[in-house]
Every structure is written in C-alpha cells, then in structure tokens.
C-alpha cells in the first residue's frame, strides 16, 4: 500500500544543475511482528503495521514517497525555456519483520515466508511505478517548448508536474486495486509454488 502523504513535495529552482536522469533514493524500515499462529501474525500486522493516511487504516507494508523537481531556465531577449530538469523521488519502504517463534509450525513458517515475500514485491512495485513517472516527468519538462517569459516557463513546468503526478497517483491506486482483488488467488499460487520448490530440494524447508 502506498502512502502518498509526501507526494506533493515539489520544488522548482532556478539554480544551475548538472544534467542527469531521474534518480531514486530508497531506504527501508521494519516493524516487528510476533506470534506463533496465523491468527497471531494477522493480529500483529493489523496492530503494528504502518498507518496509511489515504485509507485511514494500517497495512502490512507501505511506501512513503516524495518527488523533488529542480529545473534551470535559459532566457533570451524574446523567450525563456527549461534548460534542464532533474527529478528525484525519495522513497521509504516499510516492511514487517517476524520474530520467529520456535513453537510456530512449519505451515506457519511457510505461509510467513510466502506472505512477506509478496509484501516486499508489492511495495517494490510501488517504487518502480514512482520511478517510471519521475522519468516521465523529467522527460516532459525537458521537451517543453520555450515560453515568452521565465514566469510563463515556470507556470508551464508546474502544470506539467501536476499532470504527471496526478497520473502517477492514478497508477498507484489502480495497482493497489488489482492487487487487492487478486490477493487470495495469488497467495495460494505462491504457496503451491514454494511447496513444490521445497519438495524438489530447490528451497530449504521453512
């Protein structure tokens, strides 16, 4: 689940800057999950998981993100254009970490390994969506036609940024919607696949 509370941290700067592609700054943090049964783990995820403001509830994982856009402008006697633009997306991925109980059965350990891997995959996909839109924003800003004044060029940059970030929001929401609908069937499929790999010796027992 994506936390978009920091999404609109957008800055436009006139300072000179080196050329470069959209960049990603990623960090991880973890919250503890205890318990020895599936019910225990579910309760811990509900109790300790990160609270996502967009939904008002807690989730088993979250990704907080902020986009920062810096642009330099080149002015002539009759026009002003965006000389360069660089978009950075800073993300913080929040994941669960189970304090494994010795009393937990192999079925619980198998389920946790499968679930935690899927949670991480889900959050990493949120990061990928953000990075793709950061690159799209950067390319769109660099392709902007010259404006009559630098104020007009800055206004155009802000307009483009708002449009791309809104598109980004929609993509993230759509991804969560699809993942939610397919959650049960996906976990069952992943459990079967992991069990097959364990039985074939490709993975160690849970």
- Least confident interval from 14-18, 152-156, 190-194: 14-18
- For residue 192, what pLDDT is reported? 81
Contact 90, 25 (CB under 8 A): yes
Cβ-based neighbour number of residue 82 at 10 Å: 24
- pTM here is 0.81
Does 123 score more than 50 pLDDT?
yes
- For residue 5, what pLDDT is reported? 31
Using one digit for the tens of pLDDT, what is the confidence trace for 135-179? 999 999 999 999 999 999 999 999 999 999 999 999 999 999 999
**Is the pLDDT higher at 34 or at 20?**
34
Q: What is the mean pLDDT of the chain?
A: 84
Backbone angles phi, psi at 60, to 5 degrees: -70, -10
Any idea where the domains of the chain sit in the sequence?
A: 2-199
Extract the runs of DSSP E, i.e. beta strands, from 17-169: 23-33, 51-52, 57-58, 62-75, 80-98
Per DSSP, the three-state class of 9 is coil
């Amino acid at each position: 689940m994506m936390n978009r509370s920091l999404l609109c941290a957008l800055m436009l700067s006139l300072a000179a800057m080196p050329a470069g592609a959209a960049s990603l700054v990623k960090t991880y943090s973890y919250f503890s999950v205890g318990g020895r049964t599936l019910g225990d783990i579910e309760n811990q995820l509900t109790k300790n998981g990160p609270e996502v403001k967009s939904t008002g509830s807690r989730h088993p994982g979250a990704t907080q993100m902020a986009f920062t856009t810096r642009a330099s402008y080149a002015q002539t006697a009759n026009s002003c254009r965006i000389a360069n633009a660089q978009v950075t997306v800073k993300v913080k991925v929040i994941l669960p970490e189970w304090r494994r109980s010795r009393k937990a059965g192999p079925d619980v350990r198998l389920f946790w390994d499968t679930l935690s891997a899927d949670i991480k995959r889900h959050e990493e996909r949120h990061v990928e969506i953000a990075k793709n839109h950061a690159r799209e924003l950067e390319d769109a800003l660099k392709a902007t036609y010259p404006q009559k004044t630098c104020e007009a060029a800055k206004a155009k940059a802000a307009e483009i940024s708002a449009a791309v970030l809104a598109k980004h929001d929609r993509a993230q929401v759509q991804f969560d919607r699809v993942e939610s609908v397919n959650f049960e069937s996906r976990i069952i499929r992943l459990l079967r696949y992991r069990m097959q790999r364990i039985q074939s010796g490709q993975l160690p027992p849970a």
